[in-house]
Amino acid sequence: MTIKSAEFICSNTQISKLPPPVKAEYAFIGRSNVGKSSLINMLTGKRGMAKTSQTPGKTQLINHFLINDEWYIVDLPGYGYARVSKNKKADWDKFIRTYLDKRESLQCVMVLIDSRLEPQKIDLEFCNWLGEKGLSFVLIFTKADKQSSVKTDQNVAKFKKALMATFEEAPQYFVTSSETQHGRDEVLNFIDSVNNH
């Protein structure tokens, strides 16, 4: 898929104020600092469109970006950010889970996983919750430039194995790097195929 245009539409904390659910949308989610905003910028080819930061907790709202005037990429705040109060965490959880569960135009949840790490409980729990809700999702392993492909493959295999405790079939997955653009075509082609389904 060619990206002809990518524009920021709105940031929201209220589900009632989101754009009307008439265009296909893809939500990017994962632990704080996993590289969601960087990946969105890499996919769209627009550096700085989604705000990135070395400090976790940068993205705090539901951000809609309109791609090719046809479909939305949604940048979500990360989960598992330790330096946030319990109340705030609970609010975040409720808000994001309501969005994911109720958004009619959501085609697929793109779950970002740090490819450098062994399977993390919080990521596995989140995938299990998506499965319970019957929401379709794919895995995107990020930051693959930071270690050897052998190490990445090992962590991917471990994550898939851990998921097999609850899932009959392993979800589709992609390995990416926002630094090298590795995986860009694969992710965009996947979205294209869902859009044209």
Q: Give Cα 113 distance to the centre of its chain.
A: 9
CB of 102 vs ligand GTP, minimal distance in Å: 22
136 binds, among ligand GTP, Mg ion, none (CB under 5 to 8 A by kind): none
Q: Is residue 155 a contact residue for ligand GTP (CB under 6 A)?
A: no
CA angle 95, 98, 101 (to 5 degrees): 150
Residue from 179, 181, 189, 193 touching ligand GTP (CB under 6 A): that is: 179
CB 29, CB 36: distance < 8 Å: yes
Residues 4-63 that bind Mg ion (CB under 5 A): 36-37, 58-59
Q: Is residue 57 a contact residue for ligand GTP (CB under 6 A)?
A: yes
Q: Is residue 142 a contact residue for Mg ion (CB under 5 A)?
A: no
CB of 75 vs Mg ion, minimal distance in Å: 6
Residue from 27, 35, 111, 159 touching ligand GTP (CB under 6 A): that is: 35
Binding segment (CB under 6 A) for ligand GTP, from list 30-38, 83-91, 147-155, 186-194: 30-38
CA distance 30 to 38: 12
Binding mask 98-137 for ligand GTP (x = CB under 6 A): ----------------------------------------
CB 41, CB 67: distance < 8 Å: no
Residue from 18, 24, 26, 58 touching ligand GTP (CB under 6 A): that is: 58
Residue from 18, 72, 78, 80 touching ligand GTP (CB under 6 A): that is: 78
